[in-house]
Amino acid sequence: MIHDLLLNHINKNAKFSKVEQEEFCRFFQKKAILKKQFILEQGQVCKFEGFVTKGCFRIFTIDKKGNENTLYFAAKDWWLMDIDSFMNHKPSELNIQALEDSEVLIITQKDKLTLYDTIPNAEKLFRIMFQKSIVAWQRRIIRNHSLTAKERYSHFITNYPEIATKLTDRQTSSYLGITHEFLSKIKKQS
Amino acid sequence: MIHDLLLNHINKNAKFSKVEQEEFCRFFQKKAILKKQFILEQGQVCKFEGFVTKGCFRIFTIDKKGNENTLYFAAKDWWLMDIDSFMNHKPSELNIQALEDSEVLIITQKDKLTLYDTIPNAEKLFRIMFQKSIVAWQRRIIRNHSLTAKERYSHFITNYPEIATKLTDRQTSSYLGITHEFLSKIKKQS
DNA sequence: TATTGAAGTTGAACTTGTTCAACTATTTTC
DNA sequence: GAAAATAGTTGAACAAGTTCAACTTCAATA
C-alpha cells in the first residue's frame, strides 16, 4: 500500500479509527519528483502539503546577499511545506528541491481544510505534530547559539546519519550556517 | 474582566461560540508573579501553560559552559511554557523568570487535556497558534544565519520595541546569541 | 573519451565576535 | 544613605569563521 508509511506516521501521533485512517489517506495522492526538480520555488504560493515516502528534499531560502540557507532536510517520514505561504496564501520565501529521485504524498490546500472539517481528530494530530516541531526548532536555536560550528557538525552527522550521507558539503554547510570552505577545514581537523 | 485579553487573543485565531469562550476561560486562573521570581526552573517538570496578561518574562536555558541562552521574551499576549516538558512529563531544560511584577492566566496540565476534550475547537485554536509559532522560529533561524549581530540587534529593537526597552543589555545579548561586551560595542557604533 | 562544470581543498589576509581584565555607572539592600 | 552587588564600557589579545583565489578531484554529458 502506498499509504502505509503515512498511516504508520499518523498512528504514532494520534488514535484514528479504521474509518478515519482510510478517509485521511484518501486525501493524499502520490507524486514522483525527479532529482534536482523543485516542488516549490521562492515566490510561488505553496498550494500543498507533502509527506515524503521516498528520497530526500532540501528546504532552503536564498537571502539578499545571495547565500543559500537551508532550513531543513526532509527524508522519508518528514513533512514538506511552507506553512506561512500555505496558511496565508502569500508568496513563499522557500525553495523545496529533491536531492534524489523521490516520492511524496500530496494534499492540496483546499483538501487540507476539508480534511480538518471531516476528520476532527486531524486537528489533534497536527496540533501534536506541530508541538513536536516547535520543540525541535527551539533546540536548534539553542544549539546555534551555544555550540561551535564543529560541535554543530558533529551533532548533525551523529543525529541524522542517513540524511548526512546523502548531502554534498555545500548543502550541509548551508544547514549549519557556515561556509563550505570552513566545513572543509573542520572535517580535516577531526 | 480578567479574561478579556485571553478572549481577545482566542478570537484572533479561532471562531468560538459564546459558550465555548466562557468554558475556555473558566480553565484559566490568574496568578501574580513578582519581579525576578521563577515560574519554572530548569529540572522541574512544567505542569502548566500560561498566558501573560501583564508584565514580561524571559525564557532561557543555561548551557554546559554556564552561558545563559534566551529562547524568547513573553510580554502581554504571549504564551509561557516548556512544550517538551509539559507534553512528555520530563524535566524542563528551561527557566521562566519574571522581568517585572507580572500576571499570568494559568491552566494546569490536567485541565489542558480536559479542555481539548470538552472544547473540540480548542484543538484548532492551538493548531493554528502552533503553526504561527513554527513560522516565527523558522524565520529566527534564517535571521541567525544570514544577518550579522548588528543587523539582528536592529531587527530586534525595531520589531519588538516595547520588549526591548524593558531589558538589560545582558538579557538582550543572550537573546541575540552574542556577549554583552560585544553588544555594548555594537551600540556604540550606531 | 574528451570536455565541461560543479564540488571539495588549501592558504593567506581579513572580519566578526570572544575573552579577560580593569574601570565606571547604576541599582539593590541593609 | 552607605555598602554591596549588578550592569554597562572600553581596550588589547585572541579565536572563530569568512573571503577570495588558485588548485584538485570528481561526476555529468556531448
What residues does each domain of chain A span? 4-118
Q: How far is CA A186 from the centre of its chain?
A: 26
Amino acid at position A55, single letter: G
Strand order in the sheet with B102-108: B29-33, B102-108, B48-54, B79-80
Of the candidates B118, B114, B130, the one whose C-alpha atom is nearest the C-alpha of residue B21 is B118
Q: What is the DSSP letter of A91?
A: B
pLDDT score of A1 more than 80: no
Rounded average pLDDT over A154-175:
97
Which one of 3.40.50.720, 2.60.120.10, 3.90.650.10, 3.90.1150.10 gives the CATH number of domain A4-118?
2.60.120.10
Q: Do residue B146 and residue A65 have CB atoms under 8 angstroms apart?
A: yes
Task: Name the interface residues of B facing A (CB cutoff 8 Å).
Answer: 61, 63-65, 67, 69, 71, 83-84, 87, 116, 120, 123-124, 126-127, 130-135, 137-138, 140-142, 144-146, 177
pLDDT score of B143 more than 80: yes
Which residue among A64, A116, A130 places its CB closest to the CB of B134? A130
CA distance A144 to chain B (A): 8
Rounded average pLDDT over A158-185:
97
With cut-offs at 50, 70 and 90, classify the pLDDT of residue B62: very high
Q: Do residue B133 and residue A135 have CB atoms under 8 angstroms apart?
A: no
Rounded average pLDDT over B18-45:
95
Q: What is residue A8's predicted lDDT score, i.e. its pLDDT?
A: 95
As given in the structure block, the three cell numbers for residue A131 are: 508541538
pLDDT score of A7 more than 90: yes
What distance in Å separates the CA atoms of residue A29 and residue A108, rounded to the nearest whole number?
9
Does the domain at B4-119 match CATH 3.40.190.10? Answer given as no
Distance A186 CA to D24 C1' (A): 19
Q: What is the DSSP letter of B45?
A: B
pLDDT score of A3 more than 80: yes
